Amino acid sequence: MLKEKNEKLEGFETYSRINLIELLITLGRITLKRKNNYLEFPSSLHKKISEVTAFINEHFMDDITLSLVAKRFYMNPYYLCRTFKEVTGSNFTQYLNTVRIRASEELLLTTNLSILEIATATGYTNSTHFGRVFKQTFGISPLQYRKLHAKADSAFY
């Protein structure tokens, strides 16, 4: 492209544009191939934990336990627990609760489902436990959270 610009032969502008488009298409294909075919992980352990977190993110509403996930990924539960913490920075239960609470927050703000229905929809079998975990995260109960945000939303209209 620089050679074309410097020599300024007939049609150099068009030829430079064609070269630029070819470069952009090639870069786009490389990026797409990387995104679709693989992610680079520092180790096979990081790849495995990434698969575990993807599984949790997809199935958080089910009755997931450490032993069930360990079995699903052919890992010892103690080893999974230790490596999960090492790779993600949080333990298995903390991560699962975070995913579930974020989903419940979304349901509280966007639906009229009852607190019990939201607890059940996000994988909690006990609404009291759900309320306790929610309150630890946000400092208020799910019902208070919904009311607080309903008032805040109505103040803008």
Mind listing the pLDDT tens digit for each residue in 87-145? 998 899 999 999 999 999 999 999 999 999 999 999 999 999 999 999 999 999 999 99
Q: Give the domain 43-157 fold.
A: Arc Repressor Mutant, subunit A (1.10.10)
Torsion sign (Cα): 107, 108, 112, 113? positive
Q: How far apart are CA 19 and CA 1, in angstroms?
A: 7
- Residue 33 token pair: 């191939």
Mind listing the pLDDT tens digit for each residue in 51-99? 999 999 999 999 999 999 999 999 999 999 999 999 998 899 999 999 9
- Distances, alpha carbon 17 to alpha carbons 22, 24, 150, in Å: 9, 11, 53
Residues of the chain within CATH 1.10.10.60 domain(s) are 43-157
Count of residues making up the chain = 157
Q: How far apart are CA 130 and CA 114, in angstroms?
A: 13
- Decide: 143 and 154 in contact? Cβ < 8 Å: no
pTM value surpassing 0.75: no
- Residue 103 token pair: 């989903």
